[in-house]
């Protein structure tokens, strides 16, 4: 059964048609790669799916419920978590607190969130940096942290915008083969390199 269905979504930026009747669906447990050259609308689609942009036409349905026009925080609560192409972490909060924000906001109890965050930090090999401010992490570590944020609570769908750009291959393996529950998710990648 389709977890997410996208039905003829279009988006214009001025006279430029960035998305032209995009239609596809993602099944539960499925890993979908969104591939295309720069400027082909991958991020635009993710922005619409995660509530940062409004589609000019078309519908998005998550688990049988139309989610078009919902705000990002409402979508996150429905299980639509996302990673940004330009990494977004909370620079003046510790790595642990970065994850706790997501855990608490998505309804985990404090102890539960803390346990889950420490588990993820270990999986992502960030234990030594746990109490550092996220602003002190390297670019790759920030990506890991943001990636981890999407999995504090098992998401219905994780939208990962270029999750592996500028990340060391070892870390890529770590992320994809770890104990993280990484599916179902959609990812965007420029070019056509396979994910593993």
Site residues for other proteins per CB under 8 A: 50, 52, 71-73, 76-77, 81-82, 84, 88-94, 96-97, 100-102, 104-106, 110, 131-133, 135-136, 149
Cβ proximity to other proteins, 57 vs 127, nearer residue: 127
**Smallest distance, other proteins to C-beta of residue 126, A:** 14
Q: Which is nearer to other proteins, 34 or 70 (CB)?
A: 70
Q: Which helix (H) or strand (E) holds 75?
A: helix 72-77
d(CA 57, CA 131): 45
Least Å from the CB of residue 95 to other proteins: 10
User: Which residue, 2 or 130, is less far from other proteins as judged by CB?
Assistant: 130
Helix (H), strand (E), coil (C) string for 100-163: HHHHHHCCCCHHHHHHHHHHHHHHCCCHHHCCCEHHHCCHHHHHHHHHHHCCCCCCCEEEEECC
Question: Could you tell me which of 120, 123, 75, 83 has the C-alpha nearest to residue 100?
Answer: 120
Our CB check for other proteins shows the closer of 2 and 106 to be: 106
Cβ distance to other proteins smaller for residue 7 or 114: 114
Decide: 4 and 60 in contact? Cβ < 8 Å: yes
**Minimum CB–partner distance for residue 36 and other proteins (Å):** 22
- Minimum gap (Å) between residue 80 Cβ and other proteins: 9
C-alpha distances (whole Å) from 109 to each of 100, 114, 150, 157 are 10, 9, 17, 22
Query: How far is 150 from 147, CA to CA, in rounded Å?
Result: 6
**CB of residue 157 to other proteins, shortest distance in Å:** 13
């Amino acid at each position: 059964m389709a977890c997410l269905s996208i039905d003829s979504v279009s988006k214009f930026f001025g006279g430029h048609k960035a998305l032209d009747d995009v239609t596809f669906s993602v099944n539960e447990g499925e890993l979908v790669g969104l591939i295309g050259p720069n400027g082909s609308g991958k991020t635009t689609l993710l922005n619409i799916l995660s509530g940062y942009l409004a589609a000019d036409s078309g519908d998005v349905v998550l688990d049988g419920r139309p989610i078009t026009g919902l705000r990002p925080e409402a979508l996150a609560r429905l299980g639509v978590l996302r990673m940004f192409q330009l990494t977004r972490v909370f620079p003046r909060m510790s790595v642990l607190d970065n994850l706790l924000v997501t855990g608490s906001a998505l309804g985990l109890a404090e102890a539960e969130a803390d346990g889950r965050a420490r588990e993820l930090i270990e999986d992502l090999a960030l234990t030594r940096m746990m109490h550092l401010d996220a602003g002190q992490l390297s670019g790759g570590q920030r990506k890991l942290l943001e990636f981890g944020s999407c999995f504090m609570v098992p998401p219905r769908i994780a939208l990962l915008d270029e999750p592996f750009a500028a990340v060391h291959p070892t870390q890529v393996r770590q992320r994809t083969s770890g104990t993280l529950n990484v599916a179902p998710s959609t990812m965007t990648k420029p070019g056509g390199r396979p994910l593993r």
